[in-house]
Structure 1
Amino acid sequence: MLFPTNRILGSNSLIEYIHLLNQLKSYSNIPQDLISSFKHYILLIYSSDQQNRFSEPLLWIGIYIALASLICSIAMVADLLHGLRNRKLWFPCKYFTLNAASLSVIAVAMKLPMDLNDSMPGHVDQVSKLGSMAFMCIMMANLLPSLTTMTNKELFTNIIALGVLVITLVVNVCIQINTGVLTLYINNEDLHGTISDARDVSGNATIHNIAAILYVVMLLMLLIIHACSSLAIVESKKMLESKYQAGHETALRDPQLQRLSVDPVEYLTQHVRIHWIMAETTSPQFIAACSATSSASGIICAACALGHTVILVFTFYIVPPRGYTSDYKWSMLAIFVIQSIGVILGTIAPLFRCFADLSFRVTNNHIKVFKVEKYWTRTLSYWKQSSISFSSRSRKCKILIHNSRILVLSFCTGIQKTTVVACQMIGLFKLPFVICGVHCFDCWNLLKAMLVSSCIPLVRNPEHPEQNIDLLRQYVLYLQDGMELAERTLKGITKSVNLVIQNAENHQPSNLINLLNQYDGFQGVGIYDSTAVAYLDCWSLPLVTLATIAISLPYIRNDRVDSLLISVSEGLAYVKLVEDSLNTTSDYVRIQKAAKMLWLEVEFYNRWLGNKLQNHAPDVIRAQDILQWFRAEAQNVVTEVEAMGIHGSNERAICANSMYRITQTILNQRNINEFSQDKLFSRLSSMISQILAACLTNLPQVITTNCHTSVIEKRQASVHAAAQLLGQATQIINTLHRRKLPNLNGDDLAFIGNWRRALNNPFPQNP
């Protein structure tokens, strides 16, 4: 047998073995048949050496698995902290959601149980492989509420992808159980071990096989729960949307709410509270967390964590440990630690969701415990009743396909009902804990009442008076009839929106408020640009243009310039909200884009269309000269753009046209040649303040618009943004409410062109 390659000769074990055979040949008393038989082991040694060389990258693959597991664990912990911070103990999924990216990371984290032929000789290796299956169960339980954040198409594709991953994992684990790879122990110490050691290994292997089978069952149960929930989500969203729209219409006509309209802040606060409650109680994630499938998944998750703990105790405290000796080397320890921490921390959120249904109490005594509501099966019923087009012309073939479809859907409906009832039965395991928790809670309330009653003279309630719960309760929306939101939960939801508003009030835009208070009225909107030619304009572009002129004046104190710059920057953040909510046509969006580009250049680079500000000619000292310089530069830009054959809607052309019109308007004012830079700066600041004031009178409309959005998945975030805006803009709304508005309808206030026409023609003649 010849092995001429350098790769073979480079193997130390093979070279030593060949050298040993050559030595044996030199001895005459050793039979040649024996030496010849030893030569047959050369190929085995070569294969073993090659296998060791091929297994070298497995260490890096193990590190890759550990990093993927760490990402999943961090995402689950982030959702846990997000729920605690926002006092949402049903822990909505914000960071760890089911999508293509998360499925890819999860697939990497599941590399160990997917591995069919790599043996796991040590106990750390074995427990890590089993722990990966427990980790998968925990992740699936955490991902369940995120199904409600998807569209129907996304829901279908993600469930299919998750099903393929889970079924592949289950099949691979079953193969390993059958082949024995999952529980194969090979260690150098085992070769010289005692019979008792062998029994220990056999017992440990039996426990691991049982654990693997249980994990397989739990994975399949969780997959069925995900599929069952996805079918209910489609119909439940429709029901929730219908009830939300009805609640919104009721809120618009509510006489108690209309009586608060004299105080805009109080009216908006109550309006936000009402829509916050409707958004929270119709939140698909909240409804999913209160469902039977969520309770079942939480209990399964707790069982996985308990099983993983038992395996750890049995493996490392009862059976003599054998460490990690697989080809993954020390990366197995990193995988084991990270995934074990993920199992422990990831169990908290699903376990709390188990008790989310306690947020509701039954008001209808006729509700059955094991009742399957219609929304669980309505999607399947709709598919069963709908017709499909057939490509075949054969009548018998059409009848066969139709009957087969009805049969399959009827079977799926039965599976769906069985799953729901099974989940309700699994949910009964939490009853002992609920009873103990209720008794403990009652004892705590009694103790607290006794302490409070004994310290009444010393206690002062620092919070605002409690809101009218009865008024807010009528806006609580229910997916299932015969239920009522617990008063404790309703107060918690009301308290959460109050906290958001109060925290936002601590971040008032002080510089912007000071600028608005310096100048009264709205006259600056009518005089900033009095060109007779009709044109389209937005709020942000004239503000940026006027601010550019103001901060370019060289003889103004830096503190005044900086104060104006900060005020405009704060104001533009709110102007953007007004424009994004109320000025959304393509023409307005194009102008707003140009203004945004220009402001970035002015604020960060102190330039206007490439020209350095405060870099005028030495003889440009008068305010009039600076205005003429800007006008000339704007005209040059317009001429340059036209010479290049670029359309007038180009961003540079839009900004230059705005500068030309505004500077020409100011130059046409009387006594402009007598204006000092200080007087021009004050005039520009006045116009900026009054334009901002006119724009920000639309903030109440922006808040009410954000409270009501048609996209159910984005409704909570939109109402949260409205509550934050209300808190931040409280002083602005109160300040502008006292000013007299021009003769404009409510919808006309959103457009600066309407303001200009109304202020320039305050008394239009009747036709």
Structure 2
Amino acid sequence: MGSNLFEYNQILNQLKTYTNIPQHLISSFSSFTLLIYQSDQQNRFSKPMLWIGIYIALASLVCTLAMVADLVHGIRNRKLWFPCKYFTLNAASLSVIAVTIKLPMDLNNSMSGRMDLDAKVGSLAFMCTMMANTLPSLATMDNKELLTNIIALGVLVITLVVNVCIQINTGLLSLNHHEERLDSNEEAKDQSPYMYAYAHRYGIVATVYVGFLLMLLIIYVCSSIAILKSKQILNSKYQGAHETTLNDVQSDTTGILTVDKLKQYVRNYWIMAGTSSPVFVTACSATTSASGVICACGASFPVLMLYFGFLSDYKSDYKWSMLVIFLTQFIGVILGSIAPISRCFADLSFNMSIIWMWNHINVFKVESYWTQKLCDWKHSSIPFLVSSRKNKIIVQKLITLVMSICIGFQNMVVVACKMIAFIPIFFVVSVLCCINGWKWMKTVCSSKGAHVLVQHRPAQLEKFKDLRLYILTLEEDIEVAERTLEGITKSVNLVIQKAAKNQPNNLMKLLQESCSDFKGNVTTSHAEDCWSLTLVTLTTVAISLPDIPDELTDRLLSGVSEGLVYVTLVEETFNASNDCLSMQKAAKSLWVEVEVYHKWLGNKLRKLAPQVKTAKQILECFRDTSENMTAAEVERLNICANSMYRVTQTILLSDHPNINNISQEELFNKLTTRIADILAACLSNLPRVIAMKCHTDVIEKREASAHAAARLLGETMKIINTLQDHQLPRLNTCEVFIDNGVLI
């Protein structure tokens, strides 16, 4: 029972004691008991609303940070079309977005304060901003994901629109005290249209946002249809360029992939993957440009709200959290609008040709890829659930009619988006043309400049002649600007140069011990052998020697740790059999145990047998311990123990003249050399790994694959040069080992 009701009952009981108060009056007061009870209950139920408001603000902050992260990522990587890396359309983001728009979804709470209405309408602006930001992420999805996410977004947006329309109709989005003032103030009757618009301005703004949201949803659907066909076109062109690149490599008579050749190879695939990226194509499309214009218009209303200073007067159950929500989402709208607005000019950074300008000025031209998928669906055969021929004809004609309407609607949307996108493009093109014209006039008027224009222009054209072969576009008549080719070349060079600063120095020092004199007896290993497991096993024996200083063992651990990163890449590239995958998994698990805890299968390395002193005894101890474990039921233990047994048994049976009297220092040096030999032979395959990493059949992953290849090339340039200078044999995974597992 609430405190108000308790106090009210006390007053009623006290009134009953007075004889001069009429009973019907006391009965009238008693009838208010239920209302007071309901009020107390409502107050009790509304207490958590403050924390719900804070929860909404936190969800808004998460979305804002994700949009800012995409903004920073695009600037750092010089991708001014700002691909969606962190803030994408998926189940998780849709769940967070649903939390951020709870205020306009709320139909029950009366939000009559200015701050309350500002926050509610501001959430609609925030929703428009988030939709404009996540639009390019549609290109990263396969067909099933695309359909699922579009349906989920459509349900969310339509639900939001319906709720907002209900609130507009019921008057929840209006200032009631202005309406009362309008009714009571005789002098205001002459200004009733103005006062009515002022009182219902939030409803008017909300109506505009409803239009924006529906337009953005339509843009999402139309873009999805175009993405389905554009991926097919781009994939076909990519495969053709890929075949050309492979033929160029195969025609190379030397057969050696040097660092310079790898740079050219990576650059070609970088251009192919970048220009044929569905994200890039979507970000440069007319629909994305139109969404940027809508986002810019939507961002203007929160700015006006903040300008007029309506940051007070919150009367809802959310209390002061409304101010936090509004400010958080206001910041999100301002920062989140940068990327969508910048995408309006993404084409300008890609092209400035006359043909390109004409295609955008001719806004009534709709390219085939916008409607080709709908045409395919229109003429495709579908399985019928009806057996009657007459019914089949009716169904087929109905589908044809629906698809024809959809094609017409798609054309109308594309034309409308081009008209919207033409506004900022025309302004920027006009400014850039004036600037370029002024520079050209200054160059022509200068005799020195004219000489440069005549002499160096052909040289620049010749420089980028080969690069143009790898530019992939949806339209054949696109002529790419030279600065675009320069920018692409610089971007791949920057990735390589940045990665070159992270050279594996400890690995290089270890390899130098092998490259000076490669003495390994190269034989083909058994199917159960793998690079990484043998390296981990040899390293385990080496660092277990108690007489070896910690400096040497730490250096060896660091070198092998850096080397295993690239050894794993070689293994994953060339060998994917089940046996090798099991051994690679066992090697990764064992290496964590060895490197971090200095243990081997749960045993402390230097305390495995305290009474053992000589190197031979240590080897025998490892051999005997592993022999007893080879029957273990656990697969990982069995694999690791079997590898240790083969390694130690091979060393003990080697033809070393002093194997019985070998010292720990000699054994450590011998093992270090053999570890370096295996690393050198394995890493001689790195050029092929880099070349294979440049290409992938998955169109959504090609850009990331080319980026990974460029980064790997930058990190391993010194290794490749060192190994190629010493002409070490290039072998596939599991081809270089000693008899039963180790080079001796």
Residue 501 of structure 1 corresponds to which residue in structure 2? 496
Q: Name whichever of 505-514 and 39-48 sits farther off.
A: 39-48
User: Counterpart of 1:693?
Assistant: 680
For the pair 1:629 / 2:629, whether they are aligned, the reply is no
- Select 1:750's aligned residue among 732, 739, 742: 732
* Equivalent pair of 1:185/1:201 in contact (CA under 8 Å): no
Does structure 2 retain, via aligned residues, the 8 Å contact 1:120–1:185? no
In the alignment, what sits opposite 2:725?
738
Worse overlay, 53-62 or 387-396: 387-396
CA contact (8 A) 1:524 1:691 kept: no
Structure-1 separation of matches of 2:186 and 2:273: 66
Q: Distance in 2 between matches of 1:203 and 1:194?
A: 16
Say whether the 8 Å CA contact 2:681–2:736 is kept in structure 1.
no
Shift of 1:662: 1.2
2:345–2:425 CA contact under 8 A, matched in 1: no
SS at structure 1 position matched to 2:470? coil
Query: Equivalent of 2:392, from 389, 393, 398?
Result: 398
**Matches for 1:673-712 after TM superposition, within 5 Å:** 673-712=660-699
CA deviation after TM superposition for structure 1 residue 15, in Å: 3.8
- The question of whether the paired residues in 2 share the 8 Å contact of 1:546 and 1:684 is answered with yes
> How far apart are residue 201 of structure 1 and its match?
7.6
SS in 1 for 2:546: coil
Q: What does residue 49 of structure 2 align with?
A: 58
Cα distance per residue 1:521-549 (max 9 Å; x no partner): 7856537xx8x994421110111111011
Read off the aligned partner of 2:261 and give its amino acid letter: Y
Give the percent of matched residue pairs that are identical in Structure 1 and Structure 2: 56
Alignment match of 1:101 (pick from 67, 92, 96): 92
Residue of structure 1 equivalent to 2:580: 588
Q: Residues 132 and 216 of structure 2 are in contact (CA less than 8 Å); yes or no, is this contact kept in structure 1? A: yes
CA distance in 1, matches of 2:605, 2:352: 66
1:230 maps to a residue whose letter is S
CA gap 1:760/1:11 in 2 versus in 1, 3 angstroms: closer
Aligned CA distance change for structure 1 residues 87 and 521 (closer, same or farther; 3 Å): same
Q: How do 1:363-762 residues align onto structure 2 when only pairs under 5 Å count? A: 364=355, 367=359, 368-435=362-429, 437-438=431-432, 442=436, 468-520=463-515, 525-526=520-521, 534-639=526-631, 641=632, 646=633, 650-669=635-654, 670=656, 671-742=658-729, 749-753=731-735
For 2:496, what is the secondary structure of its paired residue? helix
- Which letter does structure 2 place at the counterpart of 1:136? M
| Paired position in structure 1 for 2:224 | 230
Contact 2:314–2:322 (CA under 8 A) maintained in structure 1:
yes
Indicate which of 317, 335, 338 corresponds to 2:328: 338
Q: Quick check: 2:257–2:688 contact (8 Å CA) kept in 1?
A: no
CA distance in structure 2 between the partners assigned to 1:759 and 1:58 by the alignment? 67
Deviation at 1:204, TM superposition (A): 3.5
CA contact 2:647–2:741 (8 Å) conserved in 1: no
After TM superposition, give the deviation of residue 739 of structure 1 in Å: 2.5
Q: 1:466 to 1:324 in 2, by over 3 A?
A: farther
CA apart distance, 1:497: 0.6
Aligned counterparts of 2:41 and 2:188: Cα–Cα separation in 1: 31
AA in 2 matched with 1:131: G
Map of 1:20-419 to 2, 5 A cutoff?
Answer: 20-21=11-12, 33-185=24-176, 202-254=196-248, 258=252, 264-314=258-308, 316=310, 322-358=312-348, 359-362=350-353, 364=355, 367=359, 368-419=362-413
Conserved 8 A contact 2:530-2:583: yes
Give the match's secondary structure for 1:614: helix
45-54 or 56-65, which deviates more: 45-54
Of 533-542 and 749-758, the range deviating more from structure 2:
749-758
For 1:438 and 1:301, how far apart are their aligned partners in 2? 24
Q: Per-residue CA shift, 1:422-455, capped at 9, x if unaligned?
A: 00011122145314541675499689999xx99x
- Write the distance in 1 (CA, Å) between the matches of 2:78 and 2:476: 26
Q: Which residue identity is paired with 1:595?
A: A
Deviations along 1:117-153, whole A, 9 cap, x unmatched?
2111211110000000000000000010000000100
In the TM superposition, residue 56 of structure 1 has moved relative to its aligned partner by: 1.3
Please tell me whether the aligned partners of residues 570 and 689 of structure 2 are also in contact (alpha carbons under 8 angstroms): yes
How far did residue 294 of structure 1 move? 0.6
Query: Conserved in 1, the CA contact under 8 Å of 2:351 and 2:479?
Result: yes
Compute the RMSD of aligned alpha carbons: 3.2
How far apart are 1:403 and its partner, in Å? Answer: 1.6
2: distance between equivalents of 1:475 and 1:257? 18
Letter of the structure 1 residue corresponding to residue 326 of structure 2: F
- Do the aligned partners of residues 756 and 241 (structure 1) sit closer, same or farther apart at CA in structure 2, a change above 3 Å counting? farther
Aligned 8 A contact 1:234 1:379 in 2: yes
Q: What is the deviation of 1:281? A: 0.2
How far did residue 195 of structure 1 move?
7.9
Structure 2 partner of 1:765: none
Contact 1:522 1:693 in 2 (8 A): no
- Work out the CA distance in 2 between the residues paired with 1:447 and 1:610: 78
In structure 1, how many angstroms separate the alpha carbons of the residues matched to 2:95 and 2:151?
A: 14
Kept after mapping to 2: 8 A contact 1:550/1:685: yes
- Secondary structure of the corresponding residue to residue 735 of structure 2: helix
Distance, in Å, in 2 between the alignment partners of 1:695 and 1:256 is 23
| Number of positions where the alignment pairs a residue of Structure 1 with one of Structure 2 | 721
Once the two structures are superposed, residues 74-105 of structure 1 have per-residue CA deviations (whole angstroms, 9 ceiling, x without a partner) of: 11011001001111000000000000010011
Task: Give me the whole-angstrom Cα distance separating, in 2, the residues matched to 1:107 and 1:255.
Answer: 51
- Cα distance change on mapping 1:176 and 1:526 into 2, 3 Å: same
Task: Report the CA distance between 1:556 and its aligned residue.
Answer: 1.1
SS at match of 2:479: strand
- Cα separation, 2, equivalents of 1:80 and 1:578: 35
Normalising by structure 1, we get a TM-score of: 0.88
Q: Report the Cα offset of residue 310 of structure 1.
A: 2.3
Residues 119 and 184 in structure 1, CA contact (< 8 A), matched pair in contact too: no
Q: Could you tell me how far 1:254 is from its partner in structure 2?
A: 3.3
Q: Distance in 2 between matches of 1:698 and 1:326?
A: 67
Tell me: CA distance 1:719–1:758, structure 2 relative to 1, closer, same or farther (3 Å).
farther
Q: Write out per-residue CA displacement over residues 324-379 of structure 1, whole angstroms, 9 at most, x where no aligned residue.
A: 12100111111111000000000000000000111124464885432111111111
Task: Supply the distance in 1 between the matched residues of 2:724 and 2:442 (Cα, whole angstroms).
Answer: 44
Q: Deviations over 1:655-686 (max 9, x none)?
A: 11111111111111232012111111111011
Distance 2:540 2:737 in 1: 22
What whole-Å deviation, never above 9, does each CA across 1:447-492 have from its counterpart, x for those lacking one? 9999xx99xxxxxxxxxx9993222122111111211222222211
Could you tell me whether the CA contact under 8 Å between 2:678 and 2:736 is conserved in 1?
A: no
Q: Supply the distance in 2 between the matched residues of 1:686 and 1:423 (Cα, whole angstroms).
A: 66
**Gap change, CA 1:565 and 1:758, over 3 Å in 2:** closer
